[in-house]
Amino acid sequence: MSFKQSTSLKQIQLAHGGGGLEMAKLIRELFFTAFDNPILAAEEDAAVLNLSGPCAFTTDSFTVSPLFFAGGDIGKLAIAGTVNDLAMMGAEPQYLSLALVIEEGFELAKLRTIIQSMAAELAKSGARIVCGDTKVVPKGCADGLFINTTGVGRVLRPGLSAAKLQPGDAILVSGDIGRHGAAILMAREGLQLESDLISDCASLWQVVEQLLALPFELHAMRDATRGGIAAVLNEWAVRSGVGIALEEARLPISDEVQGLCELYGFEATDLANEGTFVLALPKRDAEGALEVLRRFDGGSKAAIIGEVCEDHAGRVVLTTAWGGRRYLDLPQGELLPRIC
Amino acid sequence: MSFKQSTSLKQIQLAHGGGGLEMAKLIRELFFTAFDNPILAAEEDAAVLNLSGPCAFTTDSFTVSPLFFAGGDIGKLAIAGTVNDLAMMGAEPQYLSLALVIEEGFELAKLRTIIQSMAAELAKSGARIVCGDTKVVPKGCADGLFINTTGVGRVLRPGLSAAKLQPGDAILVSGDIGRHGAAILMAREGLQLESDLISDCASLWQVVEQLLALPFELHAMRDATRGGIAAVLNEWAVRSGVGIALEEARLPISDEVQGLCELYGFEATDLANEGTFVLALPKRDAEGALEVLRRFDGGSKAAIIGEVCEDHAGRVVLTTAWGGRRYLDLPQGELLPRIC
């Protein structure tokens, strides 16, 4: 009996989501301690924020498997993902909500690690968790832990849009591509490569804040998550009614990612990134922006990878290393499930 | 082969969450059609909203089982739940995000019904879904469908708070209690009562808008979801440092709910509501507010159920129908899992 009790105290129980005493205790001891701020501490049905002018608003649920991977965990990912969606719209990541769906029996120690990882990632952008929700479902009804983060923040640079690309724009990428997808693939296949391959999972607000502070005429930014840079660039080409010409030789891809792609039949351009973004801006500003990108962690491989053109409207054209040309299409099929 | 294809087209596949072609198609055909509005149609990484002044911000994940129950479904619940959390803070429900975690193999027809149910419920408050996220997890990794809705809206009446109750306030409830919990219990146990017992699941914005428009001095409002009115009133008593005296005979409880409670050993005061709220305001305004509550759908049983007092600070005291007195405590233990 005493063994059972001490075990159960180390695991999430259904009562932790019941709206009663146990839930109140969990929220206070775990979440309020990690995310301490006056808005959250008000404990009302909704947080009250002071917002003014145009605000960006974005939501993401995270179901990544495994929960821990080289370079991050679901907590870091859930903060970085939503912070980045705000940043990509030229908005300062200010306020986040946090909603957890936890499977009964989930280890409390793991949950604590994930929550601490969220708190550490929040510190990188100054965003705050101001409201939350905790649900517990019976064993077998979810796979460990799902997290939703939804964010809101004021737009510092209005007008960034997937529909704003213009012929003559340069296309830049902020670092080498495909690392998150490759890291998850490695973790899932139980591969132990003798390599430094880790996910690019990171908050991009610091570098974006610098780009916004400089007088560059930014047209569009997008973090290349599910579907990789292929998905982003295809969407941009369609939305802006332009063609995008990429040079394969300029795509920054690490040897490790390239190797895994060859082994598993993936394209690095389809693989998810979680701290790498694509940027479109007039050519005259391209070198300046590149210099900013390279100054930040993970940006040493940043590159100008192509340009926007008038022909092939709605398509992305890749000039291969051998001089051939082919369309880079929107990814199709299953790719990697539960990548984020 | 052709059979397999036609079956799979009727079910959600992993590719619907992959960030590629299939996901884009699902989003456009299902979500954009149901929730059509210009902000959503902009399809950026984040929606851009025009907000000003104090705004309320709230999140909820919904894991209710079963997905369909008497009086509603998970879609209606996900809209009403978040709309109500905003309304309870005196805020107009303006913008909602929608994030789905769908189990592979989930029937497309069911998803369509749920999405249409959300659209119908949105129309009752005028709130709009302006951004979203779709994740698909492999079969067995989730139980059908989980939904997160997060909402933001401007505060029309600042200062409503769980900490604002004052001795002399009246405590009102907007309808008969425990119906959502009882309806879920019935559905889960496969009970077919010869009764009209349906969940109270509903958006409360219309009635709250009327209360806000009138010159009542409102102190606190809270929809009595998980943990029922027992959870809300205990939280209020602690946060405001007051006692709350309830009269059992005044609690509006239907015969069907009372019968189920006796059968299963629940207290109606612990059962979840999803369209019933508790209100604290000075006694002089109580009859006026009651008149407003009774004017709306589901409000015919609205009642003044008690008052705020100085003694028993932090506790809720129930005077029973027999004249005895006991503490009404914060619910404890498992209650009903997956109630919302």
**If you write DSSP's letter for every residue of A90-151 in order, what string do you get?**
TB---EEEEEEEEETT-BHHHHHHHHHHHHHHHTTTT-EEEEEEEEEE-TTSBSSEEEEEEE
Q: What is the pLDDT of residue B5?
A: 43
Closest Cβ opposite residue B57 in set A59, A101, A131: A131
CA A163, distance to chain mean position in Å, is: 21
Chain B contact set for A99 (CB, 8 A): 59-61, 148, 150
**Cα four-point dihedral sign B231, B233, B238, B239:** positive
Single-letter amino acid, residue B7: T
- C-alpha separations of B43 from A32, B31, B150, B216 in Å: 34, 12, 18, 42
Average pLDDT, rounded, for chain B: 93
The residues, ordered by sequence, that sit 6+ positions from A28 with a Cβ below 8 Å of its Cβ are none
Of A44, A132, A148, the CB nearest to B162: A44
Q: Do B52 and A49 touch (CB under 8 A)?
A: no
CB B207 within 8 A of CB B289: no
pLDDT per position as a tens digit, B58-88: 999 999 999 999 999 999 999 999 999 999 9
Q: The tokens 């959250």 sit on which residue? A: A40
The yes-or-no verdict on residue B320 having pLDDT over 70 is yes
B237 interaction partners in chain A (CB closer than 8 Å): none
- pLDDT exceeds 50 at position A7: no
Per-residue pLDDT for A1 more than 60?
no
Q: Which of A125-129, A156-160, A185-189, B232-236 has the lowest mean pLDDT?
A: A185-189
This model of the complex carries an ipTM of 0.94
State how far the Cα of B281 lies from the Cα of B279, in Å rounded to an integer.
Answer: 7
Residue A4 pLDDT exceeds 50: no
Question: A21 vs B330: CB contact, 8 Å cut-off?
Answer: yes
Domains of chain B (ranges plus CATH)?
Answer: 2-154 (3.30.1330.10), 169-327 (3.90.650.10)
Among A37, A36, A48, A53, residue whose Cα is nearest residue A91: A53
Q: Which of A8, A44, A64 to mutate to test the interface with B (most CBs of B within 10 A)?
A: A44
- Of all residues in chain A, what percent carry a pLDDT higher than 70? 96
pLDDT given for residue A194 in this prediction: 61
Q: What per-residue confidence (pLDDT) applies to A254? A: 96
Nearest-CA residue of chain B relative to A144? B141
Interface-testing mutation among B61, B102, B154, with chain A (most A C-beta atoms within 10 A): B61
Average pLDDT over residues B307-318: 97
- The predicted pLDDT at position B42 comes to 87
Facing B330 at nearest CB: one of A20, A44, A226: A20
Q: Which residue of A has its CA nearest to B162?
A: A44
Q: Mind listing the pLDDT tens digit for each residue in B99-158? A: 999 999 999 999 999 999 999 999 999 999 999 999 999 999 999 999 999 999 999 999
For B269-279, write each residue's pLDDT tens digit: 999 999 999 99
User: Residue A2: pLDDT above 50?
Assistant: no
Q: Which of A30, A183, A45, A28 is nearest to A106 (CA)?
A: A30
CB pairs under 8 A between A and B: 278
